Amino acid sequence: MVDAVDEVLGRVGGEVAARAERLWRTAMTLHADPECAFAEHQAAELLSAELEGEGFTVERGLAGLPTAFAARSGTVPRPAVALLLEYDALPGLGHACGHNLIAAAGLGAALVARAVLPEGAGTVQAVGTPAEEGGGGKVIETDAGVFDDIDAALMFHPGVHDWQWAPLTAQTQYRVGFHGRAAHPTGNPTEGIDALAALIQLFNTLAVVERRLPQGSHVQGIVTDGGRATNIVPEHAEGLFGLRAATNGALDDLAGELLTCAHGVARATNTTVTVERATPRYEHFRDSRVLSGRFAHHLARAGIELTPPEPGVYLGSSDMGNVSGRVPAIHPFVAITDPGSSDHTAEFATASASDRARRVMLAATEALARTTVEALLSPDLRDLAWREHEREVSVRV
């Protein structure tokens, strides 16, 4: 069986090389015409058409999302591996997170795996996942059961580090509104109940709370409504608060802190308050060390060595966390810039169309395809991944 797997793996490099120019053109087409959350119509059509053209069965409008899709190839439903494609861009910055490279690598890995795998090996899926930067396409897909019959979910992310797995936090946003009473601040100042003052007090209270939060937890807020005129005591004020925490449990605790603080401020200021979740909840990421280890092993063939992430450093949040709570998943970071730079910048958008980005994208394509082949052809690898996954999700954190 080992010899059979090695024989299939031996064909992967040639298949990637044969598609290299086509995959890079796809990445550059996406880069040249960035589309933001849930508006990625051209990107979704471009990618799904490429897959359909090579024999994949494509389901568009996946999970009720117009810019989501699933492309499937295989004569038996299980085992099944999903390659996840992100393709949304950032408002004003374009592909400053390199999603054009994620999409091209996932596309290439799916096409190559299909080309080399023997009939009956299982199912290769390419899943189009919109709105990672805001809106949570994978959250919606996960809740709709898209990953219920999947044995592994694989993707890579371009970044500023070469890390085997992603230290990604749990994240959500809450909208907090205070309601008071309008009045003229000079003519009848005692009649007013200042909702903006209450909101400012909440910011100050949370600043004190943040000093004792555990590592990885923080709150960042903005004022979205602070009143209409300086000569009217604001009767309504509203803020949007982003909460992040190292684990899902810590995020729940932090949301509880926000609620406690908001109601305490309302009592102290004689206002009323409403607190509601404003965005989908991104879960923290659970890495499949078994599978990410195989990806790292294969990526080393291209001279790129991945290491564990630096302790105590977190790289934001992703709706891939929700997928990782359902199936064994990987989300390694592969650098396309030098240390000290940052994604979500104009410089990173430029880097995602660079020669280095091309090399990384093709190396990641090959490593993803090889990991897909191994996951489909090796029951032992799948069993290890599932056992590890079940241990991870059984721990309440």
The CATH number that applies at residue 196 is 3.30.70.360
- Residue 52 sits in the same domain as residue 104: yes
What is the share, in percent, of the chain residues with pLDDT greater than 90? Answer: 94
Mean pLDDT for the stretch of residues 167-172: 97
- Residue 337 sits in the same domain as residue 211: no
Domain of residue 386 covers: 2-168+285-394
1: pLDDT confidence band, cut at 50, 70 and 90?
low
- Residue 179 sits in the same domain as residue 163: no
Q: What CA–CA distance (Å, rounded) separates 78 from 70?
A: 16
Which pLDDT tens digit goes with each residue over 28-46? 999 999 999 999 999 999 9
Mean pLDDT for the stretch of residues 242-252: 97
Distant-in-sequence, close-in-space partners of 166: CB < 8 Å, separation ≥ 6? 157, 285, 287, 309, 315, 318, 320, 331, 332, 333
State the pLDDT at residue 138: 98
Which pLDDT tens digit goes with each residue over 58-71? 999 999 999 999 99
359: pLDDT confidence band, cut at 50, 70 and 90?
very high
Res 3 pLDDT > 90? no
State the pLDDT at residue 122: 97
- Residue 100 sits in the same domain as residue 59: yes
Res 395 pLDDT > 80? no
Last residue of a domain, one of 227, 243, 277: 277
Last residue of a domain, one of 245, 277, 309: 277
Q: Are the C-beta atoms of residues 101 and 336 closer than 8 Å to each other?
A: yes
Q: What CA–CA distance (Å, rounded) separates 236 from 171?
A: 26
- Report if pTM > 0.85: yes
State the pLDDT at residue 339: 84
Mean pLDDT for the stretch of residues 248-260: 97
Mean pLDDT for the stretch of residues 100-116: 98
Give the number of residues written for the chain: 397
- Residue 60 sits in the same domain as residue 139: yes
For residue 130, cis peptide bond before it (omega within 30 degrees of 0): no
- Residue 250 sits in the same domain as residue 290: no
Which pLDDT tens digit goes with each residue over 298-344? 999 999 999 999 998 898 999 999 999 999 999 999 999 998 899 99
- Residue 289 sits in the same domain as residue 322: yes
Mean pLDDT for the stretch of residues 110-120: 97
- Residue 271 sits in the same domain as residue 304: no
- Residue 149 sits in the same domain as residue 205: no
Q: What CA–CA distance (Å, rounded) separates 106 from 98?
A: 13
State the pLDDT at residue 189: 83
State the pLDDT at residue 397: 62
- Residue 197 sits in the same domain as residue 341: no
- Residue 161 sits in the same domain as residue 176: no
Last residue of a domain, one of 277, 296, 313: 277
Write phi, then psi, for 46 (nearest 5 degrees).
Answer: -60, -50
Mean pLDDT for the stretch of residues 22-26: 98
The CATH number that applies at residue 112 is 3.40.630.10
- Residue 273 sits in the same domain as residue 386: no
4: pLDDT confidence band, cut at 50, 70 and 90?
confident
String of b and e for 212-239 (b: at least 16 CB within 10 Å)?
ebeebbebebeeebebeeeeebbbbbbb
Number of structural domains, the chain? 2
Average pLDDT, the chain: 96
State the pLDDT at residue 340: 85
